[in-house]
Amino acid sequence: MTADGQITYREALREALREALSADDRVFLMGEDVGRYGGCYAVSKGLLAEFGPERIRDTPLSESAFVGAGIGAAIAGMRPVVEVMTVNFSLLALDQIVNNAATLRHMSGGQVGVPVVIRMATGAGRQLAAQHSHSLEAWYAHVPGLKVLAPATIPDARFMLGAALRDPDPVILFEHVMLYNASGPVPDGAGCEPIDRAVVRRAGRDVSLIAYGGTLAKALEAAEALAGDGIAAEVVDLRSLRPLDEATLLESVRRTRRAVVVDEGWRSGSLAAEISARLMEGAFWQLDAPVARVCAAEVPIPYARHLEQAALPQPAAVVAAAKAAMGAR
């Protein structure tokens, strides 16, 4: 933490882990390079020296094995935090997450809970090329039995993990790679919002910009640009992708009568498509324009920086979509 009270996103996550490890002996962290190396994104740096190898466990390079071990530990009464280095590596553990963690409470008639938290980095912007730049949040948000969270702010990074560990069911925590270096304060009273509720980050009357994770900052930047043209955009941070807080979304859209969904996933089969459908179903008669979507281009994410940036949602595209919804003002 800096002298002016600023803390980075990664430091906020580390403090959340430290707090959870200190408060409950059942909590432990496991994953690739989380111990001696300090984590691929340095989130767990220093925790091995503080808590020891029983609580900070380096694992073999086998996502299916260590995610499965985390699920087993959760069933046995522990509170594991499993770090999957990036979301694309989680594909190797899909069977464990979808067929085991998400289903066991249902298949056991409520007798078996799986209180595991699975953290994973997601998103693009760091020139990590097509195999390490996925935004697959919609895949997990599709699955009943999982809760899916996307902290986009420093306070949410600080406090969502603790709330997730108190949940009796599996929680997926998506951390956008471009947020780790972001910094900001943790205000007094932060962390009071339920983790399954969306939050209005900027009030407005003309159009709702709906975003999450790495797209929130872009939506806020677009809202600032729109304000210069006399358009008051409301920015809604989803925070929870499953369950979706429909009530807050519908309340915002009924107020502004227009919506733009900003989603780093590909447009086809996207989370933005699901949100758009729910807004059409719940607020059709209040809408003055079709719900717009700003998504990643339908290509594998390029390595070259200028192509990568061109493939991702950018504030200018959000501004253009909002103005189109306003009638090209």
Is 106 annotated as catalytic? Answer: no
Token code pair at residue 248: 């807050």
**One of 11, 132, 175, 176 is an active-site residue; which one?**
132
- In whole angstroms, give the CA distance from residue 237 to residue 233: 13
The kind and range of the H/E element at 318 are: helix 315-325
**Distances from the Cα of 198 to the Cα of 161, 217, 219, 253, angstroms:** 16, 15, 15, 13
**Distances from the Cα of 298 to the Cα of 99, 111, 182, 260, angstroms:** 29, 43, 28, 18
Sign of CA dihedral 36, 50, 175, 42: negative
**One of 11, 32, 63, 137 is an active-site residue; which one?**
63
CA torsion, points 80, 86, 89, 95, in degrees to nearest 10? 40
- In whole angstroms, give the CA distance from residue 243 to residue 25: 29
Is 176 annotated as catalytic? Answer: no
Say if CB 89 and CB 118 are below 8 A apart.
Answer: no
DSSP, collapsed to helix, strand or coil, labels residue 100 as: helix
Please give the positions annotated as active site.
Answer: 63, 132
